Amino acid sequence: MEEVRRDNPLGLNMVASAHSRLGNLQRHFQSSENVGKDSLNRGNVKLSPEVAEALSRGNAIVALESTIISHGMPYPQNLETAKEVEAIVRNNGAVPATIAILDGIPCIGLTTNELERLANLGTKAQKTARRDIAYLVASGGNGATTVSATMFFASMVGIPVFVTGGIGGVHRHGEHTMDISSDLTELGRTPVAVISAGVKSILDIPRTLEYLETQGVTVAAYNTDQFPAFFTETSGCKVPFRVDSPEDCAQLIDANLRLGLGTGILIAVPIPKEHAASGSLIESAIQKALQEARDNKVTGNAETPFLLARVNELTGGASLASNIALVKNNAFVGARIAVAHAQMRQ
C-alpha cells in the first residue's frame, strides 16, 4: 500500500487512519475464491477483488445499497437496474461496491452471480439495518442492506461516498408513533457522504430535516437551494448549504473527514426535470397508501416497502419509473464526486 500523505493544517490524519484500518481488516478478509470454503469464518467481511484493488490504490469507489434490489422492484427488473447503476458508476470513473450479507458474510462488492442471486431472493432476503447485522452474521442469513447498514460497512473499510435513491426519515405522524428511520441516527455517527434524491416523499420531510439538524448532520443540495422530495424536484423546504460541482462536494467531504466530526453528510440531488412525477398525483397516491397501511396495521420496516409499492400501483407505474431514473442520476453524480474526492487525496 502506498504511503499516505500525513500533513494537514489540523494535525489530523483521517485518510491515513482509514487506510490503517483497512490494512488491519485486510489481514482477516477472504478473497472471493474462498467463498463457501471451510477456511472462511462466518462473520468475516469479504471484499471483491475489484473493490480491494481500488482501496489499496486509493481509487474512487461508490458504495451502493442492496435493499432496492431485493425490495424495490420485481425480478428481473431489479437485476437489470442494479447492473445499469453499476455500469453508470464505472463509466464515470469509479468502482461500484454493492453491499449485502450473503450466507452470513458481509460482502462489499458483489459479483454478477451474487447480484443475480440477491435479485432472485427478492424479499426472502431480510431488509437489513444496523440493528440486524449481528443476527444475520450469527445465523448465516441473507440480508439486503438499507442506508444505515450500507453506511456502516462503507465506513468500516474506508469508502467515503455512498449512492442511494432516497434516505429514510421521520414517518408521517411520527410525533405519535416515534417511527424514525435508523438512517438518520447513522448519519449522525458515521462519516460517509450519502448522495440521494432527498428523503422519500412518503415521509415527513420538514421533521426529518429538523432531526438531522439535531444529529449534527450537514445537509446540502446539489445545484439548488431547495431540498428535493424524491419523486419531485422540491419539497418546499430550503437547505442550509448548497454545492454546485463534484469538486465542491469533494471539498466538503474532505473537510468533514479532516476535522474528525464523526458525522455523515447528506447531499440531496434533485430528480431530473424530465423524470419528475406530478406532485399532486404522487401526494394523492401517498395519502391513499398511508390510509391503507393504517387500516392493515402495516408498521415498522414493512411500512416503507408497502407504501412505495402501493404508490407505484396507484400511479400506474409512474413512481417506479421516476425512482429508477433518480437512482441512475444519483449514481452519475455520486461517481463524479467520488472521483473528485479520490483525486484530492492523491
Strand extents, DSSP E, 164-311: 193-196, 218-222, 226-229, 232-238, 241-243, 265-268
Question: Which residues lie across from 127 on neighbouring strands?
Answer: 144
Contacts of 97 (CB under 8 A, 6+ apart): 48, 51, 61, 62, 63, 64, 108, 109, 154, 159
- Among candidate residues 46, 127, 200, 328, the one labeled active-site is 200
Per-residue model confidence (pLDDT) at position 218: 98
Alpha-carbon separation of residue 250 from 62, 153, 160, 230 (angstroms): 13, 20, 10, 23
C-alpha count within 13 angstroms, C-beta hemisphere, residue 161? 32
Q: What is the pLDDT of residue 279?
A: 62
DSSP symbols for 73-86: S-TTHHHHHHHHHH
Annotated catalytic residue 297? no
Candidate list 65, 86, 186, 303, residue with the active-site label: 65
Q: What pLDDT, on a 0 to 100 scale, did the predictor assign at position 320? A: 84
Which stretches of the chain drop beneath a pLDDT of 70? 1-43, 278-280
Under DSSP, the state recorded for 270 is: P
Amino acid type, 258: R
Q: Per the confidence metrics, is the pTM higher than 0.75?
A: yes
Phi and psi torsions of 262, nearest 5°: 80, 5
- The yes-or-no answer on residue 200 being catalytic is yes
Element (H, E) at 144: strand 143-145
**Predicted pLDDT at 293:** 87
3-state SS, 84-142, equals: HHHHHHHHCCCEEEEEEEECCEEEECCCHHHHHHHHHHHHHCEEECHHHHHHHHHHCCC
**Set of cell numbers at residue 142:** 441473507
**What is the domain partition of the chain in residue ranges?**
43-159, 191-345
Same fold, 43-159 and 191-345: yes
> What's the pLDDT at 205?
92
Rg (CA), the chain: 19
Q: What is the pLDDT of residues 182-205, one digit of tens each?
A: 999 999 999 999 999 998 777 899
If you classify domain 43-159 with CATH, what class do you get? alpha beta
Q: Which cell is 145 given?
A: 442492506
- Reduced to 3 states, what is the DSSP secondary structure of residue 238? strand
How many whole angstroms separate alpha carbon 32 and alpha carbon 49? Answer: 7
Looking at the structure, give the CATH architecture of the domain made up of residues 191-345: 3-Layer(aba) Sandwich (3.40)
